[in-house]
Amino acid sequence: MSFLRTAVRSTIPRTSKAAISSLGAVRTKVSLPDLKWDFGDLEPFISGQINEVHYTKHHQTYVNGYNTAVEQHAEAKAAGDVKKTIELQQHIKFHGGGYLNHCLFWDNLAPNKQGGGELPTDTAFAKKVEEQYGSFDNLIALTNSKLAGIQGSGWAFIVKNTENGAVEVVQRYNQDTVTGNLKPLVAIDAWEHAYYLQYKNVKADYFKAIWNVINWAEASKRFDA
């Protein structure tokens, strides 16, 4: 796994110091995050093949797309090309959202041997869920209904509303992400690439299965942060 991630990262193009200097700013490129488990560790709920393709191909595409768009945006801005900068902002939003959403996704998954699927009991997050929804089963049912309601590609997020402390569930389409007063606690990928190799067109089975590997301890930490 560590060799694979190193190999993947080595394919990301680097900007020379001279090029960075010519743009008048230093930008740090993003890269794939380290996973805390191996590709096959989430089986039988999510196959190792899906995780490998999802991580090394799809997430890597967002990494590359974001880095390229940011670099090109800086060049267009320096050249005074307003039309090009506006066009590239859309690429930054899409690929940047894809990068961030997947980083959240990987960290809120865990194999059973690392506590995946174990519901929190004595945390501020758990108490808030019980207060608002009566049980985690009710929160999960609401999230699954949001996932099922996504037409095409998108995400469902369990979030904390930082204005009132409430736990809410929201949909986002394509690679839009949650911002502002909504703090993401759990991110679930509803894009076809997240499940099709295993669940084919029965995405509802994927939505049911993924809760067996949700890292609720990570969600509790995000709630407290």
Structure confidence at residue 2 (pLDDT): 40
Structure confidence at residue 12 (pLDDT): 36
Structure confidence at residue 199 (pLDDT): 98
Structure confidence at residue 27 (pLDDT): 56
Measured from the Cβ of residue 1, the count of other Cβ atoms closer than 10 Å reads 12
Give rounded-to-5 percent helix, strand, coil for the chain.
Answer: 60, 10, 30
* CA distances for 66 relative to 54, 115, 131, angstroms: 17, 32, 40
Q: Which two tokens stand for residue 174?
A: 């394509």
Residue with tokens 């930008």: 27
pLDDT along the chain (225 residues), means of 10: 39 37 54 98 98 98 98 97 97 98 98 97 96 98 97 97 98 97 98 98 97 98 97
Closest CA to 210 of 151, 158, 132: 158
Structure confidence at residue 1 (pLDDT): 47
